[in-house]
Chain A
Amino acid sequence: MPDWQELVRRRLSGLALDASEKEEVHAELAAHLEESYGMLCRNGLPEKEAAERTMEQVSDWRDLQAKILIARRGEFMRKRAQQLWIPGFLAFILSTFFLMTLPKILGAHPRTVESVAGTILFDVPWLAALPFIGALGAYLSSRAGAARTIVLLASVFPVLALAAALMLMFPIAMIVDPIIGNHVDFRNVATELLKVGTSWFFVPGAALLTGGLVVSLFFGLRSSQQTRWLDSEAKDA
């Protein structure tokens, strides 16, 4: 009897999945082939012919490998793009656009607020637009069928992107500044972080989240009503 496990492992060696997941797929397909082969043998076919007939089930192993990969990963990636990346990036682009244009259009200057950490700047027109941008991100994410956590992540995506950029820039600046001769006062780092965090992340994040929460609550309410309706339809059927 052919070693089906070894055969599948060899033919699907390029399957780009986690080791355990790959092993699972190999074992499952090998079990299927073994079962087919066993059935053909029990039906009276000689071993060689039974093995050939079993192998006919897969005409193109590379094609099967690609199909399995798409089925296992593609759907997840497609959904993730529709539910998080596209709404999130759209919200990010819109928030950047408004940040650059709204103060110019309205002629408004950033508002300063004195705090223990020093002066913190707030761009009021931009902050006022953020709940709507957060709501748009959340709406697109909800429409793509995302869970509530993903919906809220899509709504606050602009500040997450900013935070990621800052986290990347900050350590680089700490290294580069002393090299180019700028004096870095490490005692001020925490204060600066607090100021930047408040004006660019915490307050804008709260504004975005407000819009996201409203949409999320609305969609949550609607989907629970739809589920109840579907349940009653299923019972009637």
Chain B
Amino acid sequence: MIGAGIKRGTAELAVLSVLQEGPLHGYELARRIEQQTNGALRFTLAALYPMLYRMEQQRWIRGSWETSANGRKRRCYRLTPAGKKKLTPLRREWEELFGALQRLTKAAHA
């Protein structure tokens, strides 16, 4: 079973990576992550918003209300400089972890 820490780490990495491409509102953010991971990562509303609010408290992302072209008000999230700074080491950590796991599974197969 995947631990809560690992789950949280992957979810945060996913959100920060997608927001690096540009600001998005919650629903679109979840959809983009699902599309880009071919459905491997899915966020329900119950999982997404507590995480977004926590990341906002940590000042990695900032939410602000914006009105779309069709007049709908949506809360858009964008990456902050602190979020950009967080993304670099986070990405490196996950690359190292997956690299190590890959080497391990290859060695076990050989």
Q: Please list the residues of chain A having a beta carbon within 8 angstroms of any beta carbon in chain B.
A: 24-25, 27-29, 31-33, 35-36, 56-60, 63-64, 67-68, 70-72, 75-76, 230, 233-234, 237
B92 contacts the other chain (Cβ, under 8 Å)? yes
Q: Please, what's the 1-or-0 string for B20-31, where 1 marks a CB less than 8 Å from any CB in chain A? A: 000001110000
Docked Cα-Cα span, A233 to B84, in Å, equals: 12
Enumerate chain A residues within 8 angstroms of B58, measured Cβ to Cβ. Answer: 75
Question: In terms of DSSP, what is the predominant structure of the interface of chain B?
Answer: helix
Given A31-B74, A35-B27: A233 and B88 interface contact (C-beta under 8 Å): yes
Docked Cα-Cα span, A31 to B48, in Å, equals: 14
| B57 lies within 8 A of A72 (CB) | yes
Docked Cα-Cα span, A230 to B51, in Å, equals: 25
B58 to chain A, nearest CB (A): 7
A218 to chain B, nearest CB (A): 22
| B46 lies within 8 A of A63 (CB) | yes
Docked Cα-Cα span, A54 to B88, in Å, equals: 35
Q: Using A25-B49, A36-B45 as known contacts, list a sample of 8 further A-B pairs with CB atoms less than 8 Å apart, ordered by residue number in A.
A: A24-B75, A31-B26, A56-B44, A58-B45, A58-B46, A60-B46, A71-B50, A71-B54
Question: In terms of DSSP, what is the predominant structure of the interface of chain A?
Answer: helix
Q: Please, what's the 1-or-0 string for B38-63, where 1 marks a CB less than 8 Å from any CB in chain A? A: 00000011101111011001100000
Enumerate chain A residues within 8 angstroms of B65, measured Cβ to Cβ. Answer: 24
Q: Please list the residues of chain B having a beta carbon within 8 angstroms of any beta carbon in chain A.
A: 25-27, 44-46, 48-51, 53-54, 57-58, 65, 72-75, 84-85, 88, 92
| B45 lies within 8 A of A31 (CB) | no
- In the complex formed, the residue of B with least CB distance to A68 is B50
Enumerate chain A residues within 8 angstroms of B57, measured Cβ to Cβ. Answer: 71-72, 75-76
Docked Cα-Cα span, A71 to B54, in Å, equals: 5
Enumerate chain A residues within 8 angstroms of B51, measured Cβ to Cβ. Answer: 71
A64 to chain B, nearest CB (A): 5
| B44 lies within 8 A of A57 (CB) | yes
